[in-house]
């Protein structure tokens, strides 16, 4: 088994499954993405118990859903 470092978005990366005899059973390409697109930020607004009906805030970047 060979360990590699993934350094570029263009690197050809695969995950390979081997048999007990070290023969390749299956190889699947791994999609390499820019980690900067996976970043984001969540900011919560203050919540007043007994006054506010909902928890609210904002989110940016790759964050597409929020859950309280």
Number of domains in the chain: 1
In a domain, 7, yes or no: no
In a domain, 43, yes or no: yes
In a domain, 46, yes or no: yes
In a domain, 8, yes or no: no
Q: What pLDDT sits at residue 35?
A: 76
Q: What pLDDT sits at residue 17?
A: 92
> What are the tens digits of pLDDT across the range 3-60?
778 888 999 999 999 999 999 999 999 998 887 777 888 899 999 999 989 889 988 8
**Model-wide pTM > 0.75:** no
In a domain, 38, yes or no: yes
In a domain, 52, yes or no: yes
With 70 as the cut, is the pLDDT of residue 68 above it?
Answer: no
Which residue range is the domain that position 36 belongs to?
Answer: 14-61
Higher-pLDDT residue of 27 and 66 is: 27
* Distance separating alpha carbons of residues 26 and 45, to the nearest angstrom: 49
In a domain, 3, yes or no: no
**Where does residue 49 fall: left (phi above 0), alpha (psi -120 to 50 degrees), or beta otherwise?**
beta
In a domain, 67, yes or no: no
């Amino acid at each position: 088994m060979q360990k590699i470092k993934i350094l570029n978005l263009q690197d050809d990366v695969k995950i390979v499954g081997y048999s007990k005899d070290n023969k390749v059973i299956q190889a699947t390409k791994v999609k390499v993405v820019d980690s900067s697109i996976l970043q984001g930020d969540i900011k919560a607004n203050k919540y007043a118990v007994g006054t506010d009906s909902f928890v609210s805030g904002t989110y940016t970047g790759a964050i597409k859903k929020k859950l309280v």
